[in-house]
């Protein structure tokens, strides 16, 4: 195998040879788009380690169809050539599971419907723009587009998830549209939506945790990865402002991720979009192009992204994109369209909780303020229970262990086959529903058996499988005395109140700290 230095020297020698004339002659051949140095490929496989001259063309033609003056030689100065076509590429979609949730991440309502071609099934994915506040009750809400949160015939009251599943189970086209039957990775509920000539927008409440239904989803006011090299200075929003032509702006979406652009028109002429059999007309929108005119500012899947200017002020909400669109008489290869943020805030009756602004003297470095991480309001019965558990160090310790490993346990239940099998065989979903129902209804009663499984047996089985397939941290916590005491107490305890009192009074437990 060649060393890095050998490869560098060979690359430099071939490039120098090409620069002396052969590259220009190759580029003059009709259909040649690019000349480079690389490895030879045949039938999509790399052939040996010898470097070659890679010639890229728009499309390959049969040898007998090419005029002799346009033939690419099989070698140049003893270096073989390799003719390649320029492929079509797609942006990488961010399927990461984010907790706390924040702006710029993937969201979906997971409603399955037929794809545009009518040949298969699909779900729509979009972007969570930012966290806002509902003026009607001061609740935290997620801001995105109507066509994202209400995709595929969705409506107010539908579930919102983060992230979307990477694959879909086979379903009959006759059953479509098909809403999700489970709550895995559910983060909210659609509250309100508005689509008119000014906005395409919707909000969803920030929900309780889908893993236990008694903990609020954590959220933050930052936008994921917004600030790069100080442009804009921070990841959070400090205010709002009306977009004007010539303004430098940024967005973070789940499809094209972070991009920088410029407002080319803050009052774009009217246009229409047809979706699910209905036509919607828009007027006076913000037209934006990438600073690199050959690339899009946003693409399919970025809908719902908020648009931020250099002063970290929000100016718009992305909802559409087009190609070869004339703006002020100039044909733009890519144009993204956004609602003015003032129209969105008014239409949905929301406001955004802005971060404190930071003022510095000239020449000073503007330092970002850490994001404000908060928890969505917890339903009253569960809040009362948590406060009770936190009042004693024994029960607080068990609660702390559960919160510390909650995300990993949820991931293992959903993605590790042995853990998933154990969870369902020990009737985990049924026991979870029973426990939460006992708290919600206030009776705190614990049945001895649920679907043939005792609670202490279910916990012991889950502790075993999680210890086998979990991280070192979770193995350490589950090997401690606290889980053993909890399981032992629940063997013959018919009431959650009694279990809490017995754990709180356990002297052995207290001596462990």
Worst-scoring range by mean pLDDT, 149-158, 366-375, 461-470? 366-375
Greater confidence, 507 or 343? 343
Entry pTM: 0.68
Strands of the sheet containing 200-206, edge to edge, are: 159-161, 186-195, 200-206, 140-144, 130-134, 350-351
pLDDT above 90 (res 415): no
Task: For residues 436-444, give the mean pLDDT.
Answer: 85
pLDDT higher than 80, residue 43 = no
Q: What is the pLDDT of residue 122?
A: 92
pLDDT of amino acid 358: 53
The better pLDDT of the pair 328, 353 is held by: 353
What pLDDT, on a 0 to 100 scale, did the predictor assign at position 94?
Answer: 86
- Percentage of the chain with pLDDT > 90? 49
Average pLDDT over residues 386-404: 89
Domain 232-339: which CATH number of 2.40.10.10, 2.60.40.1180, 1.10.10.350, 3.30.300.30: 2.40.10.10
d(CA 435, CA 424): 16
Q: Is the pLDDT of residue 506 over 70?
A: yes
pLDDT, position 344? 98
pLDDT by residue (tens digit) across 320-332? 998 877 766 667 7
By DSSP bridging, strand 126-128 and strand 105-107 are antiparallel
Region 97-111 average pLDDT:
95
CA 25 to chain centre: 46
Percentage of residues of the chain with pLDDT beyond 70: 91
CA distance 499 to 492: 9
pLDDT of residue 2: 73
In whole angstroms, what is the distance from residue 161 CA to residue 148 CA? Answer: 11
Q: How many CB atoms lie within 10 A of CB 255?
A: 21
pLDDT at 367 > cutoff 60: no
Task: Give the per-residue pLDDT at 89.
Answer: 46
Which of 213, 109, 208, 207 is CA-nearest to residue 158? 109
In whole numbers, what is the pLDDT of the chain averaged over residues? 87
191 and 348 in contact (C-beta within 8 Å)? no
4-85: CATH topology is: GMP Synthetase; Chain A, domain 3 (3.30.300)
Could you read off the pLDDT of 256-304 as tens digits, one per residue? 999 999 888 888 888 889 887 899 999 889 999 998 888 899 999 999 9
Residues 6 or more apart whose CB falls under 8 angstroms from that of 228 comprise 258
- The reply to whether omega before 163 is within 30° of 0 (cis) is yes
- Quick: pLDDT tens for 45-90: 667 778 889 888 878 888 888 998 899 999 999 999 988 876 544 4
pLDDT at 511 over 50: no
pLDDT at 254 over 70: yes
Reduced DSSP (H G I as helix, E B as strand, rest coil) percent helix, strand, coil of the chain, to 5:
30, 30, 40
What's the pLDDT at 87?
Answer: 55
Q: Over the stretch 371-392, which tens digit does the pLDDT of each residue have?
A: 777 877 777 888 888 889 999 9
Phi, psi of 66, deg, nearest 5: -100, 125
pLDDT at 513: 36
What is the average pLDDT across 209-218?
Answer: 66
The domains of the chain are located at: 4-85, 232-339, 379-510
């Amino acid at each position: 195998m060649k060393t890095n230095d050998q490869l560098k020297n060979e690359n430099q020698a071939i490039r120098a040879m090409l620069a002396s004339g052969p590259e220009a002659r190759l580029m003059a051949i009709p259909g040649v788009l690019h000349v480079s140095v690389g490895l030879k490929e045949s039938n999509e496989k790399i052939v040996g380690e010898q470097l070659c001259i890679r010639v890229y063309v728009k499309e390959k033609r049969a040898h007998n169809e090419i005029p002799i003056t346009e033939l690419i030689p099989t070698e140049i100065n003893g270096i073989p050539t390799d003719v390649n076509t320029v492929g079509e590429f797609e942006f990488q979609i961010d399927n990461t599971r984010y907790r706390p949730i924040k702006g710029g991440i993937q969201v979906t309502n997971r409603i399955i419907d037929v794809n545009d071609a009518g040949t298969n099934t699909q779900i729509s994915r979009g972007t969570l723009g930012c966290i806002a506040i509902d003026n009607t009750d001061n609740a935290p809400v997620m801001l995105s587009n109507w066509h994202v949160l209400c995709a595929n015939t969705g409506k107010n009251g539908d579930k919102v998830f983060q992230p979307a599943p990477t694959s879909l189970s086979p379903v009959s086209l006759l059953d479509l549209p098909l809403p999700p039957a489970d709550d895995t990775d559910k983060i909210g509920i659609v509250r309100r939506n508005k689509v008119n000539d000014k906005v395409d927008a919707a909000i969803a409440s920030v929900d309780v945790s889908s893993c236990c239904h008694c903990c609020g989803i954590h959220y933050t006011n930052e936008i994921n990865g917004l600030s790069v090299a100080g442009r804009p200075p921070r990841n959070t929003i400090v205010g709002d402002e009306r977009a004007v032509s010539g303004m430098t702006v940024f967005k973070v979406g789940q499809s094209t991720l972070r991009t920088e652009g410029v407002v080319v028109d803050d009052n774009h002429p009217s246009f229409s979009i047809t979706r699910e059999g209905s036509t919607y007309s828009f007027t006076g929108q913000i037209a934006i192009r990438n600073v690199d005119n050959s690339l899009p500012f946003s693409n399919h899947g970025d809908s719902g992204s908020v648009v931020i200017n250099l002063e970290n002020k929000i100016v718009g909400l992305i909802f559409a994109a087009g190609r070869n669109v004339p703006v002020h008489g100039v044909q733009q290869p890519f144009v993204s369209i956004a609602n003015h943020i003032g129209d969105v805030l008014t239409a949905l009756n929301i406001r955004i909780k802005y971060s404190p602004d930071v003022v510095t003297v000239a020449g000073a470095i503007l330092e970002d303020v850490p994001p404000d991480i908060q928890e969505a309001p917890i339903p009253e019965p569960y809040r009362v229970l948590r406060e009770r558990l936190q009042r004693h160090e024994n029960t607080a310790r068990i609660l702390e262990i559960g919160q510390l490993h909650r995300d990993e346990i949820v991931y293992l239940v959903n993605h590790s086959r042995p853990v998933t099998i154990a969870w369902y065989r020990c009737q985990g979903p049924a026991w979870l529903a029973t426990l939460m129902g006992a708290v919600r209804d206030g009776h705190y009663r614990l049945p001895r058996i649920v679907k043939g499984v005792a609670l202490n047996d279910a916990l012991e089985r889950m502790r075993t499988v999680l210890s086998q397939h979990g991280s070192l941290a979770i193995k350490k916590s589950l090997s401690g005395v606290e889980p053993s005491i909890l399981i032992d107490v629940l063997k013959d305890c018919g009431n959650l109140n009694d279990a809490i009192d017995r754990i709180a009074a356990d002297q052995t437990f207290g001596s462990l700290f």
